[in-house]
Structures are given as C-alpha cells and as structure tokens.
Structure 1
Amino acid sequence: MKNFEDPFNHLDSISRKACLQQLLQWADESKDVNLKFFFRWSRLKLLFWKERQNPDIPNELESLIYESGICKDYFIQAEARQLLGYCYWERKEFSLSIEQFAQAYGLYSEFNQDDFPNKGEYIFDYGSKHQYFGDYQTAKSFFLEMWNHTPQNKIENIISKVNTIAYCYRTLNQFDSALYYFHLAEEFAIKLNSEVWMGIISGNIANIYYLQKKYDLAIPLAERNIEISTRNNELVDLAMAKSMLSDIRRIQNNPKAAMQLSLEAYHIIVKKGFLKNYYVMKNIYRNLSNAYAANGDLKTAYLYLDSASMAKDSFAVQRNQLAISGAKYRVEVQKHISEIKQKEYELLQQKKIRNGWIAGAILMILISVIAIRQKIKVSQEKKRSDELLLNILPEETAEELKLKGFAEAKSYDEVTAMFTDFKNFTIASEQLTAHNLVKEINYFYSAFDKIVSKYNIEKIKTIGDSYMCAGGLPVANKTNAFDVIQAAMEIQDFMQKHKLEREAQNLPYFQLRIGIHTGPVVAGIVGIIKFAYDIWGDTVNVAAAMEHQGVEGKINISGSTYEIIKHKYHCTYRGKIPAKNKGEIDMYFVDGVKEEG
C-alpha cells in the first residue's frame, strides 16, 4: 500500500498529534454541517496514515461512508472506501477488502484525473489485487486502464508499473506485447538512470527470447543482467540469469559452461537462504539437472530432477491454495454484492410502487436478471475452487477437509497396493537427453493415470521411475484386488505395444515390473506446505517387495492377492520370499483371465 496523499507528512509526531486534536475540536465546535463533516474526514484520514492499526478506524470509516452517501459527497466516499479496503486487506479479510475496492472503483472511475488525483494509483492498485490471486487477465485490463488514462508525468514508480504490465503479458504468453512494454520500461530506466532496473529488465527480455528459442538474442542480455546484478548485489536476479544462461549453453552443446553456471546459480541461492522461494528453485533445480545430464552424470541429474519436481509441486500447491482462497473470497464478494443489490432492489421497489405497478414490475424483472447472473457467477467460482482441491486430494477427503478444516487418517482392512518400476531404467535412459527422458516418463505416467482412473483406483504418488497406486480407498470395496489386477494387465499390454513400436523404429524402449499385494493400510493427508494423500503399513512394503522380485513384462502378486483372485485368473506359482515381520510370502505370476464355463 502506498501513502498516496498525506498532507501532514512533513510534520513531526508531536505536531501531528496537535493537528489531530485541533481537527477534532473544530469538528465538535462547528455549526456548519458540511464543514464539520470535512474536519472529521481530514482527522480520520490523518489518523489512518499515522495509526493504521487503530481498531476504531474501520468503524469510523464505515460511519463516514454512510454520512458521505447522505451528503452525496462521492469524492470523500471513494477515498474512504479505498482506505477501508486497505484496512481489511492488511487484516487478510480479503472478501471485505475487495468489496470496498470495487465500490471505490465504481465511484472514482467516473471522476476526471484532475478532480481526483489518486485515480490512476488506485486503479493500478486494484489491478494488483487481482494479480495477487493469479488473475493476470483482469489485472492487465486495470493496469492498461491506468496507463492509457494517466499522464506519464503523474505516474509514480513508472518503471515498476510498466515492467508489471509487461510481466502480465509475459505470463499470458503474449510475447510481442510483453517485449513492447519491457522495452518501454527500459527507456524509462535509462532516462531515470536506474542501473538496477536496467539489469532486471535485460533479464526479463532475455527470458522471453529464451522461451522463443532466440538464443543469440538472449545471451548478451542475460550476460548484461549478470554483470549489473553482480555489481548491485541483486542476488535472486543474478542466480536466475546464470541458470537461464546455463540452459542456453547446454542447448548449444557446451556442457562444461552449463555446469559451471548452474552450480554458481545454485550456490548463490543456497548461501543466501532462498530455498523456500519455490518459483526460483524449480528453475534452478531443473537447469542443474539438465547440466548434470549433459555432462553424463545421470544419477545426480535424477536427484535434481526430483528436487525440481518437488519445488514445482510446492510452487503449484502454493498457487493452487492461493487460487482456492481467491475463488472463495470472490464468492463471498459476490454474496456481499448480491445482498447490496437486493437492498437496492427493495428500496427501488417501494419507491416505484408508489409511482405505479408497471414501473415496479419492470424493476423486478431487471433485478431478477442481475440476481440470476450473480448466482451463476457464485456457482462458477465455487466449481473452480472445488476442481482445484479435487486435483490435489480424493473427493471424500477433500469434502472432509472443507467441512472440518482437517481430514483424519482412516484404517482400511482390505486395500490392494500396486507398484511399477522400469527395468534397467538408468541404462535405457543414457540414450536420451534429460528433456526427452522427462517427456518419456510423462508419456507413460499419463497413460497409467487414464488406466487406473477407469477402475476407480487411487493414484498415490510417483517416486522417480516408480508409480504407486491402490484400490479399495478412499471408499472401501470388495472388488479392489480384481480392479488392480485388471489395470495392471492393461498397463503391461500398453508397455508391450510400446516395445513393438520402438523395436520397429530401431529405438530404445522401456519394460516394466509390476508388484501387487492385498492387505490392511492406514491412509490420510500428510504435510503442511504441500498436501499429499498417502498410505502406510506392511501392505505397502510387501507390494514394493513384489515389484522388486518381479520380472519385466510380468505381474507379480502375493499369496494374499492370489487367494482372492485365483478363481478368475490363471496364475503360476513362483516360490517364496522372506518378508520382515511376516515370515515367508508366496509369489505368483498372473498369466491371464480364465475362460468362463
């Protein structure tokens, strides 16, 4: 928040207190209603900027907003609503805050810039609130409204504002417009002799060329960013620039330079304690993984690839949580606005009834249309919020979390767990680049997701080249063993088709081991920063052992699972393996479905 207007800023604290007391005295003594109102407003505005945490300020602002409506002083009402919005925002009461910002915008958007000097700043600030919740399209529209209707000599922090407009375009993948505004921001940085901004903007432009694969254009800008950031100790910007340049060197087949730059970027972030900046870390880890792979160290590359995936997931969860919060707040705002519309409707209806039933009926129709639209918007926002949560958690767990604010772990007597693992993954992957390796894994896991979803099997997680899922939860059932076996057969059929296609093209291929076991588990949510639905118990360990003792192209199951499915599937006995705390466990290969009759 910016102190847009503080006429008493030059006064010391004692003088400011004296001004407050004098304004309060004038307000009490004045017999002129309008003058008294003005003194009260001046005092309250001064109090807000100097004692913003004062718990009485919101109530006083609410009272003044009401009085300004009676006096029809919409200039003061717009200012007061904006200040009240800031109060609520600082207290993280976002729905109430955005409601006030929206009401203020509805007022000051009708004023001329000369009559209402804060108009441009308020519009830009309103856009930044939408940007906070990841709504870049709406944010951009407000930013452009400010830019197109405010004289440049009246825009404060103009470099930052133009850079923000460019960043919105870049996030929306509208690169031509992003470049236009980044170059415009650069012109202002040169004019105002701001070297730090010159470096930041050089890096932003380089990033766009990097995304467009225009590496010859990106390199000198990235190097300039590194030089300026080093000189000005802008460490996050320095690390991001080095990491981006590292990936360009890798693409240009210069693995040693790529490794050096990636390690430099990584050490900057680690040394300065930026490891919880997940947006930065997902890029640093990804490019470091690529650099290790380009230098032939695939084992280390996989470690950083997992780290990049974890950072990316953490960043995505943060964004999802923020988006869920934003959707919730927007739903609440729409509810508030609907209530306001309803009150306006009732007042208008009473007035129109006195003037005639026809006019009243017309108003009823219009207000009904507005109410329906608002209801549809609320429903849509709730649906978006629910979809985001369901992408993280099972439906039943998500519902419990929404109702209680937490989800308890549950015990299940019969769950069938399945593990998959690629045979000789490291050897086969040496023939692929890191990028193509990730592309391959995503191809397989996407296919597995579709197959297990068809049989109501819950995907638990992926760990490197291992895929874990379970049937019989979160809703218990008696068909889980059959469901998982059927899904496993489809997965192996998919892998066999993949093998034949790759052999025909003389390309490397992957083969898969699958292990399955049925037994009791405990399931629930773990984590605070990163939601994760997981399962625990000996059943998980035995299923993992079944996979480890399996053979590529085969489905290896335990004796427990065999006893459940033996009447439906042909199986081949393999012998026993020792298991911790369980003695020896029988193993079987699933050969196929028995013919009926």
Structure 2
Amino acid sequence: MNTQPSPGRALDPEKLLRRLEKRLAKSEFRRTELEELMDGSQAFQRRVITDIEAAKAKIEQLYASLEIEQIRTEQLLRSIMPESIAEELKANGKVRPRQVESATVMFTDFVDFTKSTEAMDPVALVGMLDRYYGAFDEISAKHGVEKVKTIGDAYMTVAGDLNDSDEIDHVAATCAAAVEIMDYVSGRLDQTEADEIAGWALRIGIHTGPISTGVVGTKRLSFDIWGDTVNTAARMVSACAPNTILLSAASEKLFDQPHRVEQHGDIQAKGKGTLKAYRLRTS
C-alpha cells in the first residue's frame, strides 16, 4: 500500500507511524513463525537421522550376531561330519549317500566299563568320558581320522576317501591314531586325583573294507557309516585283550609297517566264524 500522502492532503505522522509499527509487528510475527518452522524442521531432521543411525546400529549388531551364529553352525557341522559332506549339506540341504570302496574303521572300548562305573556318580562319569573322548577327538583329527560317534563307552572312527579328495593312507593313519590313543589311556591307568576311580584299560579293533556313508535324521542330523566292515571292526575289538590293538587280515595286508605287526592267532567272531587277527605293537 502506498504510504505517501495524496496531493493536497496533510501528512499525519502519528498515523503513519502506527501503520509502520503494525507492518513491522506483522513482519516480526511472520519471521518468528518461519524461524519456528525452520527449528521444527531441523529438530525433525535430527530425530530422523538419530532414528536412522540407531536402526543402522541395530542392523549391524544383528548382522554380527548372525555371522557368529553362522560360524558356530559351520563349526558344529564340521564337528559331526567330514568337511565335504558338511559343505554339501549347506549347499543342498541334503547329502547324497556315498559308497567308499576302501576305508578303515576303528572301535575302542573300555574294559569292564559297566562294572567299574556302577557306583560312580553320573556327573563324575560324564566328566571322565568327556576328558577321554576330548583327547581322542584331538588325536583322531591330528591323523586325519574322522570320528563317527560314541556309543556308551565305545568310540568309533573311520578313515578313507570320505572328502572326495585324493585317498589318504587310511590304514597307517588309523594305526597311528590307535597307538597314540592307547598311549594316552595307558598313561592314566593310575590316575586318581582328577577322577573318582583309576583310569580304564582299553581295547582297540581295526578293520579295512568297503563302507556306505550318509547323513540321517532331520531335526538331529547324524553322520553314520554302514556295512560288513563296521561289523567286523566291532568283532575285532570284542576279541581284544586289555590294552591291546588288533588288526584284521585286511588291515594288516595294507599296513605299510609290517615290522610293527605280529600274529595274534585266530579269533571267533560272532556271525562271521574264524578270523585271522594281528596285534599292533605300540612301541
């Protein structure tokens, strides 16, 4: 609006001043409104940025937790089955059965286990088995031998072309693991401080032949092996004297250190008749 006085009209300074004051007040009000809007917008932006940063941090934390769980899952799989089989399970959700033409199976069991542990505290018993089997696991892995499972006081392993790779000398590897396991147990025959009873005597049976392998179960997966080779290895350990390692004729024939083997004599194997057996020297 034109504030200049019209020609011939006297200027009213007070009126003009009031007009200017009103316009100034209105302008100030609008400026304050605009500043409040800008402050509100900036506060909103800061809240949004804060929320985004918090969400990002949460996602990164969840991702880190997921990576940890994935590593744990992979470690668990590799602890219960050969690596290539674990990789196949991860990739396909299932594992094809395998036929291995030549593998070496080993069984160990403790002498008079049931009788010697009848009165033993169950917690202490599990602790003892955990110490022994933990050591067996380390020894087996050291020699490239796969643990299959434990059944009570029996410990079962297999070695051979299980990972779709170049075949290892599975007989020699199993024999080396057997000797080291026997040495470990023999060194604890008089141990009483950490355990309620002295250590157990051990028997080990070994046999070589064809096996079938696979993963069974859905909620609780289990790697296992089957075949007459498994049964024969079990028969060999049943015929063992305490603190003795017996090889079948098939394993003895493939063992590349004949000077460490001596004839044991024939054994009677349930369901299999008479079998030749050989004793593996531990020293």
Task: Report if TM-score (shorter chain) is over 0.5.
Answer: yes
- Residue of structure 2 equivalent to 1:521: 211
- Residue of structure 1 equivalent to 2:86: 398
TM superposition shift of 1:487? 0.8
Question: Relative to structure 1, is the Cα distance of residues 382 and 485 closer, same or farther in structure 2, using a 3 angstrom cutoff?
Answer: same
Give the conservation status (yes or no) of the 8 Å contact 1:397–1:407.
yes
Q: Distance in 2 between matches of 1:109 and 1:559?
A: 68
TM superposition shift of 1:507? 4.8
- Residue of structure 1 equivalent to 2:118: 430
Question: Relative to structure 1, is the Cα distance of residues 590 and 385 closer, same or farther in structure 2, using a 3 angstrom cutoff?
Answer: closer
- Residue of structure 1 equivalent to 2:202: 512
Higher RCO (CA < 8 A, seq sep 6+)? 2
Alignment of 1:64-463 (within 5 A): 106=51, 383-463=71-151
- Residue of structure 1 equivalent to 2:167: 477
Give the conservation status (yes or no) of the 8 Å contact 1:421–1:513.
yes
Question: Relative to structure 1, is the Cα distance of residues 474 and 575 closer, same or farther in structure 2, using a 3 angstrom cutoff?
Answer: same
Normalized against structure 1, the TM-score is what? 0.35
Give the conservation status (yes or no) of the 8 Å contact 2:206–2:251.
yes
Q: Distance in 1 between matches of 2:68 and 2:131?
A: 32
Give the conservation status (yes or no) of the 8 Å contact 2:212–2:227.
yes
Q: Distance in 2 between matches of 1:435 and 1:531?
A: 26
Give the conservation status (yes or no) of the 8 Å contact 2:185–2:202.
yes
Q: Write the letter of the residue equivalent to 1:497.
A: G
- Matched positions, count: 233
In the alignment, is residue 556 of structure 1 matched against residue 256 of structure 2?
Answer: no
TM superposition shift of 1:383? 4.2
In the alignment, is residue 488 of structure 1 matched against residue 178 of structure 2?
Answer: yes
Give the conservation status (yes or no) of the 8 Å contact 1:516–1:543.
yes
Structure number with bigger Rg: 2
Higher helix share: 1
Give the conservation status (yes or no) of the 8 Å contact 1:419–1:468.
yes
Classify the secondary structure of the residue corresponding to 2:258. Answer: coil
- Residue of structure 2 equivalent to 1:545: 235
Q: Write the letter of the residue equivalent to 2:276.
A: D
TM superposition shift of 1:447? 0.8
Classify the secondary structure of the residue corresponding to 1:430. Answer: coil
TM superposition shift of 1:471? 1.1
Q: Write the letter of the residue equivalent to 1:576.
A: I
Normalized against structure 2, the TM-score is what? 0.71
Q: Write the letter of the residue equivalent to 1:417.
A: V
Question: Relative to structure 1, is the Cα distance of residues 583 and 425 closer, same or farther in structure 2, using a 3 angstrom cutoff?
Answer: closer
Classify the secondary structure of the residue corresponding to 2:173. Answer: helix
Q: Distance in 1 between matches of 2:211 and 2:122?
A: 36
Give the conservation status (yes or no) of the 8 Å contact 1:417–1:539.
yes
What's the RMSD between the two structures over aligned residues?
3.5
Structure 1: which 5+ runs fail to align? 1-71, 76-102, 111-126, 131-137, 139-329, 335-376
TM superposition shift of 1:385? 4.7
Question: Relative to structure 1, is the Cα distance of residues 548 and 401 closer, same or farther in structure 2, using a 3 angstrom cutoff?
Answer: same
Q: Write the letter of the residue equivalent to 2:268.
A: I
In the alignment, is residue 577 of structure 1 matched against residue 268 of structure 2?
Answer: yes
Q: Write the letter of the residue equivalent to 1:450.
A: E
TM superposition shift of 1:431? 4.6
Higher strand share: 2
Question: Relative to structure 1, is the Cα distance of residues 576 and 381 closer, same or farther in structure 2, using a 3 angstrom cutoff?
Answer: closer
Structure 2: which 5+ runs fail to align? 1-40
Q: Distance in 2 between matches of 1:585 and 1:485?
A: 19
Classify the secondary structure of the residue corresponding to 2:133. Answer: helix
Question: Relative to structure 1, is the Cα distance of residues 579 and 564 closer, same or farther in structure 2, using a 3 angstrom cutoff?
Answer: farther
Q: Distance in 1 between matches of 2:202 and 2:249?
A: 21
TM superposition shift of 1:502? 4.1
- Residue of structure 2 equivalent to 1:235: none
TM superposition shift of 1:461? 0.4
